[in-house]
Amino acid sequence: MAAYADLVLMSFLVVIALAMLRSRNLVVVVMLSSLYSLVMAAIWVLLDAVDVAFTEAAVGAGITTVLLLAALALTGSREPAPTRRAVLPFLVVLITGAALVYATYDLPPYGDPGNPVHQHVTPRYLEKSIEETSVPNVVTSVLASYRGYDTLGEVTVIFTAGIGVMLLIGRVPPRRRRRKAS
State the average pLDDT over residues 4-14.
91
Return the CATH number at 72: 1.20.120.1200
> Do the domain assignments include residue 41?
yes
pLDDT digits (tens, 9 = 90+) for 79-117: 777 778 888 988 999 999 999 999 999 888 877 888 877
Contact call for residues 72 and 27 (beta carbons, < 8 A):
yes
Structural domain range at position 48: 1-79
Domain final residue pick, 79, 106, 139: 79
> Do the domain assignments include residue 85?
no
| Rounded distance between C-alpha atoms, residue 60 and residue 84, angstroms | 31
pTM for the model stands at 0.59
For 173, half-sphere exposure in the C-beta direction (CA atoms, 13 angstrom radius) is 5
CA-to-CA dists, residue 85 to 80, 81, 91, angstroms = 13, 11, 12
CA-to-CA dists, residue 77 to 61, 62, 86, 150, 169, angstroms = 19, 19, 22, 38, 16
Q: Does residue 182 have a pLDDT over 70?
A: no
> Do the domain assignments include residue 93?
no
Number of domains in the chain: 2
| Rounded distance between C-alpha atoms, residue 103 and residue 116, angstroms | 17
| Rounded distance between C-alpha atoms, residue 167 and residue 136, angstroms | 40
Are residues 2 and 62 both part of a single domain?
yes
pLDDT digits (tens, 9 = 90+) for 53-65: 888 888 888 888 8
